[in-house]
Amino acid sequence: MAPQHATHSVLLCFRITPAYACASGNYTFYYTSLDVKTRVDDLIKKLSLQEKIGNLVDGAAGVSRLRIPIYEWWSEILHGVSNTGPGVHFTSLVPGATSFPQVILTAASFNQSLFEINGKVVSTEARAMYNVGLGGLTNWSPNVNIFRDPKWGRSQETPGEDPTLTSIMLEVYGKEMTVIKTGLRLLLAADTIQPMIWIIGKEIKDTPSIPWLHNKIWTMHFNLHSRAVFLMEILPVSWIINDPKLVTALSFLFCFKLNCFCRVDLHCGTFLAENTESAVNKGVVIESVIDRALTNNLAALMRLGFFDGDPKKQLCGNLGPKDMCTLEIQKLAREAARQGIVLLKNTAGSLLLYPVDIKSLAVIGSNANAIHTLLGNYEAEQSNACLVLNCFIDGSKLVLFQAGCSNVSCATAQVDEAKKIGAAADAVVLVMDSDLSIEAESLDRVDITLPGQQSLLISEVVNISKGPVILVIMSGGGWKYNLQNTAPKLPAFSGLVSPGKRVELQ
């Protein structure tokens, strides 16, 4: 009867959501009264080589005989819980999460208290997702690269070009994400593509995870020595998540030497799971190196409570769907967008647009009616996001809309249609520039001029409009627009980068 009972308990345990290691059986690593090192050492001693290898990748295989379920390390929370990675799933129980403004817009507020509150909210929603089996405990964020090139496709993910602001935002956001009074809420991995996290100083040594991503310079001339010095001397105890693009681009033998030398402990991909055993058999890597890597990985999950039983009975176990997208959080997201919007020009008397003066308003530009431009990349799933166009529809005025271009890179523009509503309205709002089709991860812009026929569209509308024209630029990176011919009739314009689920421009 005992074996039947044991089998039944395993099946029952794996049906429970969320996934966690089921604390049953006389296993030392399940004893929460012991320190993390003792528990991890005990667990590693119980694992075969194949079981160890299966847990070196983001889709960790788990160990069913020890009641350890599979676990997905890859979840994204750049500016809200996102289902971009495989670790998060939205369902009817939780259809979406709060999407705060893209990082570079929030950073433009220079408001440290706002960074703190955002971190608390996102970590709360992420933990709530885990508690109902729809998310993980480990999250890959933030992106702390310094924004150097205005054409870079991932610039929107960063706090910008200011190293001081970047370090402050990383410290505050990371602290609020991970630390609570009596434990660790989530595990964060600071994302860097270029080795610019020196700005953190000695605090970088305490970062629990550093995913060192694909560096295009290194694929041409890989400076192994400088990278190893950084990883071994500056990060003596931290663990590294390697990037699949880099791993698969290098030879089998060199990959393992590089991984072992540079302390790569977890790989986003399948390379280590598929090739490590062969590397051990060929003498390229010894099992003690695997043990070191696995020690770091398992210690992180131990600290997060993954091996402590039902998370609903632990700290933060009361969080759930009721804590997602609350009215209070929606107000906060809207306020974050307001604080980050940069007003670049406002000729006296142009803004605000008072209802008593504006009876009709023309809104022109494809970005005014584009959900993905509103949210940015690594976005959270949304069911009721407020489009820029919708912000102006309040019943107090006539709102006319014309895209002007079928997309941001349009070869031809619907100039006549745009001019028609521009001439008829008391005021015009032009919502222009880029979107994720020309500016995203692995997609850098070729120049910083307004794409397609947008410059022509702006000039034609500005010159025919009878009232004030407000230009709103929605772009993650830099942009250039020649104001020479339109400046006198363009009294106001602002910069707006993916303001998230809620934005108000009125």
Structure tokens at 163: 């190293």
Judgement on whether residues 167 and 282 belong to the same structural domain of the protein? yes
Domain closes at, from 293, 322, 351 = 322
Judgement on whether residues 205 and 314 belong to the same structural domain of the protein? yes
Residue 501 within a domain: no
Judgement on whether residues 315 and 171 belong to the same structural domain of the protein? yes
Question: Domain count of the chain?
Answer: 2
Q: Residue 247 is part of a domain; what is its CATH number? A: 3.20.20.300
Residue 222 near residue 257 (C-beta atoms within 8 A):
no
pTM of the predicted structure, to 2 decimals: 0.83
Distance (Å, whole) CA 81 – CA 500: 12
Domain closes at, from 265, 287, 322 = 322
Judgement on whether residues 218 and 363 belong to the same structural domain of the protein? no
Judgement on whether residues 316 and 372 belong to the same structural domain of the protein? no
Distance (Å, whole) CA 237 – CA 251: 27
Distance of CA 500 to the CA centre of its chain: 12
Q: Residue 458 is part of a domain; what is its CATH number? A: 3.40.50.1700
Residue 332 within a domain: no
Within 8 A by CB and 6+ apart from 496, the residues are: 105, 341, 342, 472, 473, 474, 503, 505
Residue 449 within a domain: yes
pLDDT for the residue 263: 67
Judgement on whether residues 268 and 350 belong to the same structural domain of the protein? no
- The range of the structural domain enclosing residue 256 comes to 2-322
Judgement on whether residues 95 and 241 belong to the same structural domain of the protein? yes
pLDDT for the residue 104: 93
Residue 283 within a domain: yes
pLDDT for the residue 391: 83
Residue 433 within a domain: yes
What is residue 80's DSSP assignment? S
pLDDT for the residue 232: 42
Distance (Å, whole) CA 236 – CA 292: 12
pLDDT in tens, the chain (506 residues): 333 333 333 333 333 367 788 766 689 999 999 999 999 999 999 999 999 999 999 999 999 999 999 999 999 999 999 999 899 999 999 999 999 999 999 999 999 999 999 999 999 999 999 999 999 998 888 887 889 888 999 999 999 999 999 999 988 887 877 654 334 455 555 444 443 333 333 344 444 555 544 444 333 333 333 344 444 444 444 444 445 555 554 455 555 655 555 567 888 888 888 888 988 888 878 899 899 989 999 999 998 899 998 888 888 899 999 999 999 999 999 999 999 998 888 887 678 888 888 999 999 999 998 888 888 889 887 766 778 888 888 777 899 999 999 999 999 999 999 999 999 999 999 999 899 999 988 889 888 889 999 999 999 999 999 988 999 988 888 888 777 666 677 887 787 766 765 544 44
Judgement on whether residues 379 and 349 belong to the same structural domain of the protein? yes
DSSP-H helix ranges across 392-453: 415-424
pLDDT for the residue 376: 87
In this structure, the strands spanning 264-267 and 179-180 are: unpaired
Torsions phi, psi of 206, nearest 5? -95, 0
Structure tokens at 112: 């440290």
Judgement on whether residues 141 and 182 belong to the same structural domain of the protein? yes
Judgement on whether residues 297 and 368 belong to the same structural domain of the protein? no
pLDDT for the residue 259: 57
Cβ neighbours around 506 below 10 Å, total: 10
Judgement on whether residues 148 and 6 belong to the same structural domain of the protein? yes
Judgement on whether residues 107 and 146 belong to the same structural domain of the protein? yes
Residue 133 within a domain: yes
